[in-house]
């Protein structure tokens, strides 16, 4: 990819204050959407704070695009209200909502030069020529595309086209930026760079609220302040990104945000003052970060593969034993798959003992209570 990067300079910075002043929080108040009699978004209540990046993540068909399009004004809610700042926008047309939007397939106008694409929204608003010139320049500089103004979309790479699409969305100085899978059409390497650049862009426009729809957990974990996980038209969990990753409230969340080993346990002792409970897995007593479990509850102990170690010591006071089944070397990481009393357990290690055990061998695994989380066993949701 070229050396250009989002620089986030000049007038855009000054405007961040203005955007904040206008109030850029997004509030879904029991918003539901139906196509005919088919409800695809069940009453959704959700707040996105001013300047926050909320990643809405979930499998295909879970209602992410529908929720975003309801904010944009392209889908009419069957019930509920949507507010942006202090304004109830539910009945406003899209162009009066103060939004910028970027979708997966760039959607640039092929017959227009980059600068005309970026100017499009401003022209539609009837802005004067001098202002348009200045805004277009700024927006293109912000995404590192200043020298591409005279090109046509077909003369740009996918990544460059998507930068122009972002510049076009920013040129109207939106309060809220809606991004719907903006990187899914790009290949892996460019996608990683773009994620970092969107993070940089947001640092230069701290007042800009971003609703970022994706099915990619890495994008969500890298970018978002908060994550909302969608499943079957409902939010099944919502919270600060690290919190949701470290302490997923249910199985779906645990597994959607990354690989999770889920060991069936029975709670032995409810959570104490330090936030830990003890639980039995067969004869083994383990300590895990708990919530409101009670002694006797069936539960799952969630441990991420990178938190399991083949060596004892330090905080790693929990010990389980598994039978080694598979070893997959992947360069930076080696993945081991073990069987712990019928539960497949995956270990991702950067460092391994020199003598790796053979498949079939009994291998002890160690982990820290602080790296675990107890989940309700019946968490179908």
Q: Which residues bind ligand ADP (CB under 6 A)?
A: 35, 40, 58, 60-66
Rank residues 202 and 231 by Cβ distance to ligand ADP and give the closer one.
Answer: 231
Tell me the closest approach of the beta carbon of residue 242 to ligand ADP, in angstroms.
24
Tell me the closest approach of the beta carbon of residue 56 to ligand ADP, in angstroms.
8
Q: In this structure, are strands 209-214 and 176-180 parallel, antiparallel, or unpaired?
A: parallel
61: partner contacted, choices ligand ADP, Mg ion, none (Cβ within 5-8 A by kind): ligand ADP
* Cα distance between residue 316 and residue 366, in whole Å: 5
Rank residues 69 and 251 by Cβ distance to ligand ADP and give the closer one.
Answer: 69
237: partner contacted, choices Mg ion, ligand ADP, none (Cβ within 5-8 A by kind): none
Tell me the closest approach of the beta carbon of residue 224 to ligand ADP, in angstroms.
16
Tell me the closest approach of the beta carbon of residue 128 to Mg ion, in angstroms.
37
Buried b (16+ CB within 10 A) or exposed e, 118-146: bbbbbeeeebeeeebeebbbbbbbbbbbb
Buried b (16+ CB within 10 A) or exposed e, 17-50: eebbebbbbbbbbebbbbeeeeebbebbebebeb
Number of residues that bind Mg ion (CB under 5 A): 1
Rank residues 41 and 114 by Cβ distance to ligand ADP and give the closer one.
Answer: 41
Rank residues 63 and 77 by Cβ distance to Mg ion and give the closer one.
Answer: 63
74: partner contacted, choices ligand ADP, Mg ion, none (Cβ within 5-8 A by kind): none
Rank residues 175 and 231 by Cβ distance to ligand ADP and give the closer one.
Answer: 231
Tell me the closest approach of the beta carbon of residue 94 to Mg ion, in angstroms.
17
Rank residues 58 and 322 by Cβ distance to ligand ADP and give the closer one.
Answer: 58
Rank residues 101 and 340 by Cβ distance to ligand ADP and give the closer one.
Answer: 101
Stretch that binds Mg ion, among 34-42, 64-72, 308-316, 329-337 (CB under 5 A): 64-72
What is the helix (H) or strand (E) element at residue 144, kind and residue range? none
Rank residues 138 and 181 by Cβ distance to Mg ion and give the closer one.
Answer: 181
Residue 281's nearest CA partner among 336, 326, 345 is: 345
Q: What does the angle CA 52 – CA 53 – CA 55 come to, to the nearest 5 degrees? A: 140
Q: Which residues contact 143 (CB under 8 A, 6 or more apart)?
A: 6, 163, 164, 166, 167, 170, 197, 201
What single-letter DSSP state applies at residue 68?
H
Among 24, 32, 62, 65, binds Mg ion (CB under 5 A): 65
SS3 188: helix
SS3 117: helix
Q: Which residues pair with 300 in a beta bridge?
A: 264, 375
104 binds Mg ion (CB under 5 A): no
85: partner contacted, choices Mg ion, ligand ADP, none (Cβ within 5-8 A by kind): none
249: partner contacted, choices ligand ADP, Mg ion, none (Cβ within 5-8 A by kind): none
The angle that helices 188-204 and 158-171 make with each other, rounded to 10 degrees, is 20
Tell me the closest approach of the beta carbon of residue 208 to Mg ion, in angstroms.
22
Tell me the closest approach of the beta carbon of residue 317 to ligand ADP, in angstroms.
41
* Cα distance between residue 155 and residue 219, in whole Å: 27
Tell me the closest approach of the beta carbon of residue 65 to Mg ion, in angstroms.
3
Tell me the closest approach of the beta carbon of residue 40 to Mg ion, in angstroms.
11
Q: How many residues does the chain have?
A: 381
The residue assigned the tokens 């930076």 is: 332
Stretch that binds Mg ion, among 57-65, 91-99, 268-276, 334-342 (CB under 5 A): 57-65
- Structure tokens given for 2: 């070229």
Rank residues 64 and 163 by Cβ distance to ligand ADP and give the closer one.
Answer: 64
Q: 195-200: which pairs have CB atoms within 8 A and are 24 or more residues apart?
A: 195/219, 195/222, 195/223, 196/222, 197/5, 197/6, 197/143, 197/144, 197/163, 198/6, 198/166, 198/223, 199/223, 200/5, 200/6, 200/8
Chain residues binding Mg ion by CB under 5 A are 65
């Amino acid at each position: 990819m070229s050396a250009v990067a989002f620089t986030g300079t000049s007038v855009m910075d000054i405007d961040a204050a203005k955007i904040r002043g206008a109030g850029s929080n997004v509030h879904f108040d029991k918003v539901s959407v139906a196509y005919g009699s088919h409800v695809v978004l069940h009453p959704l209540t959700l707040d996105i704070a001013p300047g926050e990046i909320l990643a809405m993540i979930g499998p295909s068909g879970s209602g992410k695009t529908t929720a975003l399009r309801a904010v944009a004004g392209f889908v009419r809610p069957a019930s509920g209200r949507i507010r942006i700042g202090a304004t109830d926008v539910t009945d406003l047309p899209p162009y009066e909502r103060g939004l910028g939007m970027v979708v997966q397939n760039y959607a640039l106008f092929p017959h227009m030069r980059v600068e005309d694409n970026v100017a499009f929204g401003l022209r539609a608003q009837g802005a004067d020529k001098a202002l348009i010139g200045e805004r277009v320049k700024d927006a293109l500089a912000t995404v590192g595309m200043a020298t591409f103004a005279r090109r046509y979309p077909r003369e740009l790479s996918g990544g460059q086209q998507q930068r122009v699409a972002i510049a076009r969305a920013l040129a109207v100085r939106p309060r809220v930026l809606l991004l719907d899978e903006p990187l899914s059409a790009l290949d892996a390497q460019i996608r990683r760079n773009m994620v970092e650049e969107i993070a940089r862009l947001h640092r230069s426009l701290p007042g800009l609220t971003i609703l970022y729809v994706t099915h990619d957990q890495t994008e969500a974990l890298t970018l978002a302040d908060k994550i909302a996980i969608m499943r079957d038209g409902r939010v099944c969990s919502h919270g600060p990104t690290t919190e949701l990753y470290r302490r997923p409230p249910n199985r779906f969340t645990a597994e959607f945000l990354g690989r999770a080993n889920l060991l069936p346990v029975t709670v032995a002792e409810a959570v104490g003052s330090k936030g830990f409970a003890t639980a039995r897995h067969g004869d083994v007593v383990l300590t895990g970060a708990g919530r409101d479990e009670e002694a006797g509850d069936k539960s799952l102990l969630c441990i991420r593969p990178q938190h399991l170690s083949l060596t004892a010591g330090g905080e790693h006071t929990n010990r389980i034993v598994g039978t080694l089944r598979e070893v997959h070397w992947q360069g930076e990481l080696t993945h081991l798959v073990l069987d712990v009393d019928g539960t497949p357990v995956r270990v991702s290690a950067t460092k391994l003992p020199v003598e790796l055990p053979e498949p079939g061998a009994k291998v002890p695994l160690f982990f820290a209570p602080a790296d675990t989380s107890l989940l309700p066993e019946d968490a179908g949701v």
